[in-house]
A and B are shown apart, each in its own frame.
Chain A
Amino acid sequence: MKLKEIQRLLQADLVWGTEEHLEKEIEAACGSDLMSDVLAFGRPGQILLTGLTNAQSVRTADIIGAKALVYVRGKRPEQECLEQAAVKGIPVLSTPRMMYEACGILYSHGLPGVSPLQDTERQADVYGKDAFSHSFEITGRNFSRAGNASTTVKDILEDIGISPAVIRRVAIAAYEAEMNVVMYAERAEMTLLLTPNLIYLRLRDKGPGIPDIELAMREGYSTATPEMREMGFGAGMGLPNIRRNADRFEISAEVGKGTNLDIYFDLLPKQEGGA
């Protein structure tokens, strides 16, 4: 289904985008206000329907490779959001329909939902490049800049020519890790290290640490405040999302001092019959 047809069915305004964007073929849709949920289950080539109008909605759409963003119930995105969308080339629509109706109308016209993430996508490409590293400072509580480091990570990996499937996994893990710092810690350093067969994300934060890591790793467990939840985070999906996307994931913490994350992504294809 073309984006133009979606626009017509939903009586949506094109808030940002061109005629060319409207000719894009859309394969599926995802409707959610929880960005961690989108990061866990979203797929490239879909449109993202959401009622969340802050900059995180655009960043999430960009990270999963969504082809368009549709705001429901007549919501208009914040200015910062539109600027982000323009930079990333993601068309933005706004429909007067509620989420329920918007999903219902598109589904009944044959647009499918998004099936849960499949492991076949986790095929890493071989590539040969020298080791490279880059560090980012992340500041706690700074929600307006939240997501900057992980989008830069994504841009770097794209420039280098890493396969989109791998970039997507790294970007999701980096983004969740960055949001955790912004929500809970004072500050952190995130380092991206690239070798010919490995991508390594290292996070060292200064913050409250985690008293019970096993509990924190459980899907759905969260200590988020209502404010964080209203921003589309804090559904207890962050750490499990990182683990799901990484080839290896290590976490350690000291209460009152900080949390360490070491996240690894293999770039060489797994051996036949291997794990």
Chain B
Amino acid sequence: MKLRDLTGQLSLNILQAQGDLDVSVSGGYTSDLLSDVMAYGKEKNVWITCQTHENIVAIAKLKNLAGIILVNSRKPDQATMQKAREENVVILGTSEPAFAVTGALYNLLKK
């Protein structure tokens, strides 16, 4: 499933659109520990987190993730937005908690 379609299906807000919304998503990874995502996140995964620090962009770039979903209505820092635009990392947002958005994504990708 494309990142763009998933955004519609899960009613996500696009917080930072610069990047590839047509990338095919390989799965999800839910974690708030950056080192954990560095170690176990897989290419084209969508990363679900409540971390908003600019380092999330570096991780998404390094691991070649499909995009980032920020939960609980968290908004990215200004520096994060800036860096995400430069690095073409798409950032999406939701008011849902990580558990619910992860569950919904899991069901969607399993189909």
Contact = CB atoms under 8 A, between A and B. Distances in A.
23 contacts: A29-B99, A30-B97, A31-B98, A32-B32, A33-B32, A33-B33, A34-B50, A37-B72, A49-B99, A98-B30, A100-B30, A103-B102, A104-B106, A107-B102, A107-B104, A108-B107, A113-B97, A114-B97, A116-B73, A116-B95, A220-B75, A230-B35, A235-B51
A43 to B, nearest CB: 10
A126 B95 CA distance: 34
A14 interface: no
Interface SS of B by simple majority: mixed
Interface residues of B, number: 35
B106 A105 contact: yes
A52 B99 contact: no
Contacts of B72: 37, 40-41, 116
Interface of A: 29-34, 37, 40-41, 49, 51-52, 73, 98-101, 103-108, 112-116, 220, 222, 226, 229-230, 232, 235-236
* 7 shortest interchain CB distances as A-B pairs: A107-B103, A104-B106, A113-B100, A33-B32, A103-B102, A99-B30, A113-B99
A34 B51 contact: yes
A33 to B, nearest CB: 4
Nearest to B27: A100
Given A30-B97, A113-B97, A99 B102 contact: yes
B71 to A, nearest CB: 8
Contacts of B96: 113
